[in-house]
Chain A
Amino acid sequence: GAGVSQSPSNKVTEKGKDVELRCDPISGHTALYWYRQSLGQGLEFLIYFQGNSAPDKSGLPSDRFSAERTGGSVSTLTIQRTQQEDSAVYLCASSLNRGGNEQFFGPGTRLTVL
Chain B
Amino acid sequence: GENVEQHPSTLSVQEGDSAVIKCTYSDSASNYFPWYKQELGKGPQLIIDIRSNVGEKKDQRIAVTLNKTAKHFSLHITETQPEDSAVYFCAALPLLGYIPTFGRGTSLIVHP
Contacts and interface: CB of A to CB of B under 8 A. Distances in A.
Interface of A: 4, 31, 33, 41-43, 45, 48, 50, 56, 91, 93, 98-100, 102-108
Interface of B: 31-32, 34, 36, 41-46, 49, 51, 89, 93, 95-100, 102-105
Given A99-B98, A100-B32, A103-B100, A43 B43 contact: no
Contact of A105 (B43, B49, B103, B105): B43
B99 A42 contact: no
A107 B41 contact: yes
Given A98-B98, A102-B49, A42 B32 contact: no
Contacts of A48: 98-99
A37 to B, nearest CB: 9
A42 B89 CA distance: 8
Given A56-B98, A56-B99, A102-B49, A108 B104 contact: no
Nearest to B42: A107
Lowest 5 A-B CB distances belong to which pairs? A105-B43, A98-B98, A42-B104, A99-B98, A43-B102
A72 B11 CA distance: 40
Nearest to A108: B43
B92 to A, nearest CB: 11
A102 B105 contact: no
A99 B43 contact: no
Contacts of B44: 43, 91, 103, 105
9 contacts: A41-B104, A48-B98, A105-B36, A105-B43, A105-B44, A105-B45, A107-B41, A107-B43, A108-B42
B49 A99 contact: no
Nearest to A3: B43
A76 to B, nearest CB: 18
A41 B103 CA distance: 10
B36 to A, nearest CB: 8
B81 to A, nearest CB: 23
